[in-house]
Amino acid sequence: MPTRKKPRRQSPSRKRAAPLRAKSSDTRRSLAMLNGQILTPADVARRVIGVYAELPLRLARCRSPFELLLEQWLLGPRLMAALQSDADTLSDRD
């Protein structure tokens, strides 16, 4: 006959943490839009691919090691800008 396991008791010194709850104001409810049209994941992917596609041309234009380093360094901000909707970037400028 199998023995029944006793339920594990929680130690009195360790209390359970309250569940995390996001405020409704912290949750983004609007959709990403570009010129009044909703951005789909395919649209965002096209923008990111465009940044990667122009990278070899930008690197070929470099005339010094510093320009090469600068173009590689600026790739990150260009990718982040491609991932954001235009509404986000416009509100950040104000």
For residue 44, tell me if it sits in a domain: yes
Whether 88 shows a pLDDT value over 60: the answer reads no
Residue labelled with tokens 């909703």: 38
For residue 52, tell me if it sits in a domain: yes
For residue 26, tell me if it sits in a domain: no
For residue 54, tell me if it sits in a domain: yes
What pTM does this model have? 0.53
For residue 51, tell me if it sits in a domain: yes
Q: What is the pLDDT of residue 94?
A: 43
pLDDT in tens, 38-82: 778 888 899 999 999 999 999 999 999 999 999 999 999 999 988
For residue 5, tell me if it sits in a domain: no
The tally of domains found in the chain comes to 1
* Alpha helices (runs of H) in the chain, residue ranges in sequence order: 41-60, 65-83, 86-93
Q: Which has the higher per-residue pLDDT, 78 or 25?
A: 78
- Picking from 38, 27, 43, 56, the residue whose alpha carbon sits closest to that of residue 82 is 43
For residue 57, tell me if it sits in a domain: yes
For residue 15, tell me if it sits in a domain: no
- Tell me which residue range forms the domain holding 73: 39-87
The DSSP secondary-structure symbol of 25 reads G
